[in-house]
Amino acid sequence: MRIVTLNANGIRSAARKGFFDWMARQDADIVCLQETKSQEHQLDGRHFWPDGYSAYYVDAEKKGYSGVALYSRREPDDIIRGLGWPDMDAEGRYLEARWGNLSVVSIYLPSGSSSEERQSVKFGFLERFLPYLRDCAASGRDYIFCGDWNIAHKPIDLKNWRGNRKHSGFLPEERAWLDQVFDREGWVDAFRALDDRPEQYTWWSNRGQAWAKNVGWRIDYQVVSPRLAPCLRAAAIYKDSRFSDHAPLTIDYDYPFPA
């Protein structure tokens, strides 16, 4: 089973930059997108309804903002749109597809970089999301959470970590929250379980020459249930072409995609 995730930073922009042509060559079973920045009724091109895939969208109420999508080779048994939190669901941040005992989620956690108010929103999301993850773990289902979590976990996960310790995305409180998720709750960072090399990033600022100099952050994840850890086979961050300020993250699983 192959799963690709990408923060598209505008799905229509990513389409113009060739993302869907690239996607068609990936042999992916599931593709998750975040920050689509569109309303479904605006997506009238063939790109947005890829041949061979079922397509699902959750939009933010605010136009040109947030939004998530999921494409699947096989039609899910069920689709869950939203977390049941009116404030966050209005921002289009959660889309879950279910096949048998497997749940794959396209998720976009809030960023706190724009203001103290949005950082407070982000902390509130994290506070509510940890119990949600516990409920998922207790359900007995296999979960794969794909998306932009807007947190770099450890110094290895961003270039200038010393200078970013007081910046949103690498705050001690945010990193401690991921410590809780991975170390104490048992969820698995699929990429790091497969690749422990430094300078493996998924996002680069548009300022300066961050992309050219590989001054990046690893903030896009596939976070999986503990029992899926033995199923992890390969990981790749695609950087040969740019579809967004983020790069696609692909994980291969030795897990039969349910019929």
CATH number where 84 lies: 3.60.10.10
Domain membership flag for residue 73: yes
DSSP H/E element including 253: strand 249-253
Catalytic-role residue among 142, 148, 220, 245: 148
Domain membership flag for residue 58: yes
Domain membership flag for residue 210: yes
Confidence of residue 114 (pLDDT cuts 50, 70, 90): confident
Residue with tokens 């999921």: 70
What's the whole-model pTM score?
0.97
CA distance 251 to 29: 11
Domain membership flag for residue 259: no
Domain membership flag for residue 50: yes
Domain membership flag for residue 189: yes
Q: Say if CB 44 and CB 66 are below 8 A apart.
A: no
State the total domains in the chain: 1
For 42, 51, 96, 166, the CA distances from 220, given in Å and listed in that order, are 26, 26, 17, 20
Domain membership flag for residue 258: no
Q: Which of 62-66, 77-81, 132-136, 208-212 has the lowest mean pLDDT?
A: 208-212
CA distance 46 to 50: 7
Q: Which domain holds residue 14?
A: 2-253
Domain membership flag for residue 232: yes
| % the chain with pLDDT above 70 | 99
Given a cut of 90, whether residue 207 has pLDDT beyond it is: no
Confidence of residue 259 (pLDDT cuts 50, 70, 90): low
Given a cut of 70, whether residue 94 has pLDDT beyond it is: yes
Closest CA to 135 of 5, 223, 225: 225
Catalytic, 220? Answer: no
Q: Say if CB 124 and CB 112 are below 8 A apart.
A: no
pLDDT digits (tens, 9 = 90+) for 133-191: 999 999 999 999 999 999 999 999 999 999 999 999 999 999 999 999 999 999 999 99
